Amino acid sequence: MRLDKFLADMQLGSRKEVKSFIKKGLVQVDGQVVRSDKTQIDETKAQVTFDGEVITYQKDFYYMLNKPAGVISATVDNYEETVVDLLADEDFREDLFPVGRLDKDTEGFLLLSNDGALAHRILSPRHHVEKEYYAQVNGIMTMADVQAFAKGLVIDGGEETLPAQLTIVSVDEGNETAEIRLILQEGKFHQVKRMVQAVGKEVTYLKRLRMGNLTLDPELALGEYRALTAAEVKALEE
Ligand code: URA
Confidence of residue 125 (pLDDT cuts 50, 70, 90): confident
* Ligand 1, atom 4: closest residue by C-alpha: 190
- Closest ligand 1 atom to Cα of 194: 3
The Å distance, Cα 153 to ligand 1 centre, comes to: 16
The answer to whether domain 3-55 has CATH 3.10.290.10 is yes
- Indicate if the alpha-carbon torsion angle 104, 184, 229, 59 is positive or negative: negative
The Å distance, Cα 87 to ligand 1 centre, comes to: 22
Average predicted confidence (pLDDT) for the chain: 95
Q: Which of 103, 115, 145, 217 is catalytic?
A: 103
Which of 65, 66, 73, 102 has the most ligand 1 atoms within 8 A of CB, as the residue to mutate? 102
Q: What CATH number was assigned to the domain covering residues 62-125+217-237? A: 3.30.70.580
Domain 130-211 - what CATH class? alpha beta
Confidence of residue 225 (pLDDT cuts 50, 70, 90): very high
Same fold, 62-125+217-237 and 130-211: yes
pLDDT at 180 exceeding the cut of 90: yes
Confidence of residue 211 (pLDDT cuts 50, 70, 90): very high
Confidence of residue 137 (pLDDT cuts 50, 70, 90): very high
Residue 236's Cβ-count burial label (10 Å; 0-12, 13-18, 19+) is: buried
pLDDT of the residue at 52: 93
Predicted TM-score (pTM) of this structure: 0.90
Per residue in 66-76, pLDDT tens?
999 999 999 99
Residue ranges around ligand 1 (CB below 6 Å): 102-103, 106, 190-193, 206
pLDDT of the residue at 166: 98
Averaged over 133-162, what is the pLDDT? 97
Averaged over 23-32, what is the pLDDT? 96
Please report, for the chain, the start and end positions of each structural domain, with discontinuous segments joined by +.
Answer: 3-55, 62-125+217-237, 130-211
pLDDT at 10 exceeding the cut of 90: yes
- Indicate if the alpha-carbon torsion angle 80, 118, 109, 132 is positive or negative: positive
Averaged over 15-39, what is the pLDDT? 95
pLDDT of the residue at 111: 98
pLDDT of the residue at 237: 82
* Ligand 1, atom 7: closest residue by C-alpha: 102
Instruction: Give percent of the chain with pLDDT exceeding 90.
Output: 93
pLDDT at 127 exceeding the cut of 90: no
Confidence of residue 140 (pLDDT cuts 50, 70, 90): very high
pLDDT of the residue at 126: 84
Annotated catalytic residue 103: yes
Confidence of residue 159 (pLDDT cuts 50, 70, 90): very high
